């Protein structure tokens, strides 16, 4: 179907939008950008909430963005501010972390349009945009002129069309592709080319499954555990996997495996979680043998045991631990440990602890990141 036909189908669509202003210096009384952006979106026929003002703080920006993405009544989030080259400008970086798919053309076209108005200074902008789950997200400059330029020339003319493209049902595969390396698997969507017969048979995620004493079982349909089903952002990541299957172990344990883009290639990103039930763990199998994942009951090695204190793990990993912290591990990565304290998740990289957000927000962010790399 042509873009003209898609635009015709989407012409009367409305896109519920939320506006976040990233600023430390402005207040609701002095901010001009937020009201002007909201008014422009509303005048284009889209319901709009905000502006919500948050400081130039990575944790606060993540919280505001994750809350907006998790709200099913919002399909687009506009963040204004924090897209410059300064070390304090972190909005573009945080948005990039949350994107399932990027739209590089947005930033490219915006800088081209800006060049016509401000010259070489346009290259300093790191404005970016893309898709997080089923939500459109754009990081815009904080100045009213730049924000309205992006809205008028790029975002608003294409917003309904973008949502229409996003909501189209993916065409189901006509037949499952052949399995690789002697492993039988059931495919639940998305075609994929046959695996390379010359590829090593036991690398990454395949080596992890072998170490578990498991195999991908045929004719078995996985289901997400309830905690992930209850969290829209994390659920969207798993639902967009190219293939999924059940890992059946000799001791009777069953797990759900989700492949990005498939469960054939040695280079695929594969996430393992509980097959239904109340399991809360997620393991990044492709990071094997590094223990990478969210801890929870029933998780296979090499993840630490749920309830492990952060202190000994930090001492082992970084030869030092956070001061005055009595908490248990939430998740582990090669370069950071995550622990819960007072209902918030904090990360520890061996030097300092940083607030990352609520358990649900951080869990969704980690799942998204692991599905991509």
Q: What is the mean pLDDT of the chain?
A: 82
Does the residue 179 lie in any domain?
Answer: no
Is residue 180, in this structure, part of any structural domain at all?
A: no
Q: What percent of the chain has pLDDT over 70?
A: 86
Contact yes or no for 22/31 (Cβ under 8 A): no
**pTM of this prediction?**
0.50
17 and 137: one domain?
Answer: yes
Q: How far apart (Å, rounded) are the C-alpha atoms in residues 291 and 332?
A: 7
SS3 217: strand
Q: Looking at the predicted structure, is the pLDDT value of residue 198 above 80?
A: no
Structural domain that includes position 13 = 3-167
Q: What is the number of other CB atoms lying within 10 angstroms of the CB of residue 91? A: 27
pLDDT, residue 320, reads 83
Q: Which tens digit of pLDDT belongs to each residue from 271-320? A: 999 988 888 899 999 988 888 999 988 888 778 888 888 888 888 888 88
Residues 218, 162 share a domain: no
| pLDDT tens-place string over residues 116-166 | 989 999 999 999 999 987 889 999 999 999 999 999 999 999 998 888 887
Residue 129 is assigned to a structural domain of this protein: yes
Q: Considering its fold, how many domains does the chain have in total? A: 2
Beta bridge partners of residue 101, listed in sequence order: 131
Q: Is residue 184 part of a domain?
A: no
Say which CATH number the domain at 156 has. Answer: 3.40.980.10
Q: Tell me: pLDDT of 338 over 70.
A: yes
One domain, residues 226 and 358 = yes
- Sign of the CA dihedral running 88, 91, 95, 98: positive
Q: First and final CA of the chain: distance in angstroms?
A: 32
The reply to whether 237 and 303 lie within a common domain is yes
Are 243 and 355 contained in the same domain?
Answer: yes
Lowest mean pLDDT among 27-36, 216-225, 339-348, 355-364: 216-225
DSSP helix, strand, coil percent of the chain (3-state; round to 5): 35, 20, 45
In the prediction, which pLDDT does 167 show?
A: 72
């Amino acid at each position: 179907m042509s873009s003209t036909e898609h635009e015709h189908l989407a012409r009367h669509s409305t896109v519920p939008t939320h506006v976040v202003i990233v600023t430390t210096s402005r207040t609701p009384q002095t901010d001009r950008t937020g009201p002007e952006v909201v008014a422009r979106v509303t005048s284009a026929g889209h319901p709009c909430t905000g502006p919500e003002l948050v400081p130039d703080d990575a944790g606060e920006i993540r919280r505001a963005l994750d809350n907006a993405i998790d709200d099913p009544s919002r399909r687009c989030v506009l963040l204004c501010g924090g897209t410059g080259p300064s070390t304090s400008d972190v909005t573009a970086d945080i948005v990039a972390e949350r994107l399932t798919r990027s739209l590089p053309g947005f930033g490219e076209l915006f800088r081209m349009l800006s060049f016509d108005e401000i010259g070489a200074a346009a290259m300093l902008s790191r404005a970016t945009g893309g898709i997080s789950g089923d939500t459109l997200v754009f990081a815009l400059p904080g100045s009213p002129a730049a924000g309205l330029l992006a809205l008028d020339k790029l975002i608003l003319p294409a917003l309904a069309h973008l949502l229409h493209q996003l909501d189209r049902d993916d065409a189901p595969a006509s037949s499952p592709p052949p399995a690789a390396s002697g492993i039988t698997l059931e495919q639940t969507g998305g075609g994929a080319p046959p695996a390379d017969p010359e590829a090593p048979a036991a690398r990454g995620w395949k080596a992890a499954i072998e170490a578990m004493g498991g195999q991908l079982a045929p004719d078995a349909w996985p289901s997400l555990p309830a905690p992930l089903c209850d969290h829209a952002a994390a659920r969207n990541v798993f639902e967009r996997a190219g293939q999924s299957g059940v890992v059946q172990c000799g001791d009777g344990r069953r797990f759900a495996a989700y492949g990005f883009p498939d469960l054939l290639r040695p280079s695929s990103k594969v996430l393992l979680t509980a097959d239904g039930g109340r399991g809360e763990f997620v393991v990044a199998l492709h990071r094997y043998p590094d223990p990478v994942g969210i801890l929870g009951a029933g998780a296979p090695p090499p993840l630490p045991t749920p309830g492990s204190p952060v202190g000994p793990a930090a001492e082992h990993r970084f030869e030092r631990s956070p001061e005055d912290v009595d908490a248990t591990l939430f998740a582990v990565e090669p370069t950071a440990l995550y622990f819960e304290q007072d209902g918030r998740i904090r990360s520890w990289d061996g030097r300092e602890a940083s607030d990352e957000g609520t358990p649900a927000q951080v869990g969704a962010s980690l799942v998204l990141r692991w599905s991509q790399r």
